Structure 1
Amino acid sequence: MEKKLGSAAINECSYNLLAIQDTLEILSGKWKVPLICILRLQKKLCFNDLLREVPGISAKVLAKELRELESNDLVARTILDTKPAMVEYRLTEYGNTLEKVIFEMLDWGLSHRKKVTGKDPLNTSSSEYVLQLRKDLPAL
């Protein structure tokens, strides 16, 4: 990669920071990553099932988080033809692309926790643990 100087380097850095900030904004908060992970594991869930699966989340916050995930094309919402009408949520194909990002965050977080606390509750490398976890997940 060619070394850039002056304003070209600043422009590239600014552009890269915007992309990182976009990612952080989309995944920020207490509930988005857990919702993505649950939908990744369960494939499809109705609103009330999601409410039960995410301990501590309120219906109001769940609705807000799902709307934001949907507006970013990460979650699809389907209204089922039932009485009363039910709504089902699933990760989109695009939403599934976050799997790599989430596993990288898990790997880094486990390594960081071990470094900061000096404890290794896994008794294995975080990378090995993450690889095994990925193998154990159902295929996309």
Structure 2
Amino acid sequence: MVTKDRICNDFNDCPITATMEVIGGKWKPVILYNLLSGTRRFGEIAIRIPSISRKVLTEQLKELERDGLVIRKQYQEIPPRVEYSLTDKSKSLTSVFKEIADWGNENLLSKPALDNKL
């Protein structure tokens, strides 16, 4: 069946490759998924992802901001307050993350341990 979807014959001109360059990796999808429910302060994100170091979280948030997926809002108050939220561009990934979460629940988390030893 031939579709209008682009075929990835050239690795450098592939929509999957381009997307994974921006949202791929160990932490970016988790950070974005955590921001789907709304604006969060840095500490709130860190608490929801306890296995990420603060240094790595800072780096990943900067990259997501640079790529136009996260908005960083700094308030001029003492103590300083910084909030992160999704851009419209990253909000368009909501259905993608929902599908990934559903797939993970169905295929990885709800299966008995014996099924994973094939």
Q: State the TM-score bracket (shorter-chain normalisation).
A: 0.7 to 0.9
Asked which structure has the greater CA Rg, the reply is: 1
**Structure 2 residue 43 is the aligned partner of structure 1 residue 48:** yes
Q: Which has the higher helix share?
A: 1
Corresponding residue to 1:14 among 10, 15, 21: 10
Q: Distance in 1 between matches of 2:35 and 2:66?
A: 16
Identity %: 35
Q: Distance in 2 between matches of 1:110 and 1:13?
A: 32
Deviation sequence 1:19-65 (CA, Å, 0-9, x none): 11011222222211111111111x11111221112111111100100
Corresponding residue to 1:91 among 76, 82, 86: 86
TM-score (norm 2): 0.75
Root-mean-square deviation (CA, aligned residues, Å) is 3.0
Q: Distance in 2 between matches of 1:104 and 1:95?
A: 15
Matched AA of 2:60: E
Structure 2 unmatched runs, 5+: none
Q: Map 1:37-116 to 2 at 5 A.
A: 37-41=33-37, 43-113=38-108
TM-score (norm 1): 0.65
